[in-house]
């Protein structure tokens, strides 16, 4: 099992480039693919998602790099937040 806190907490994805997102609604999974600052591909699968909220407004201009990432628990739900250098914020909730 993934250690979500290690993958997303304390801006662990800072300066990673968002390369791809795939949502499999019937399976309840989300695949996030990042390119690390060391040019390594980092794929993260989130299982049992219950809610997703994304913006693509680019209020700060174009950008696909993670400025900050964090995770916190609320009961049996894991809350993941990513903010990009475009100013956009992604929020994902999944079961533990």
* HSE of 59, CA atoms in CB hemisphere, 13 A: 6
Residue ranges per structural domain of the chain: 4-95
- Structure tokens that stand for 18 in this block: 């968002």
**1 pLDDT higher than 50:** no
Average pLDDT over residues 10-30: 96
Average pLDDT over residues 59-85: 95
**74 pLDDT higher than 80:** yes
pLDDT at 49: 97
Report the Cα 93 to chain-centroid distance in Å: 10
Q: Is the pTM of this model over 0.85?
A: yes
Q: What percent of the chain has pLDDT over 90?
A: 90
Q: Which letter does DSSP use for residue 9 in this model? A: G
């Amino acid at each position: 099992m993934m250690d979500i806190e290690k993958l997303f907490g304390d801006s662990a994805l800072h300066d990673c480039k968002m390369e791809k997102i795939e949502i499999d609604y019937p399976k309840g999974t989300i695949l996030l693919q990042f390119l690390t600052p060391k040019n390594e591909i980092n794929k993260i699968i989130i299982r049992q998602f219950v809610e997703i909220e994304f913006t693509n407004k680019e209020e700060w201009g174009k950008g696909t790099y993670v400025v900050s990432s964090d995770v916190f628990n609320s009961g049996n739900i894991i809350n993941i937040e990513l903010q990009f250098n475009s100013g956009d914020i992604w929020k994902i909730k999944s079961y533990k």
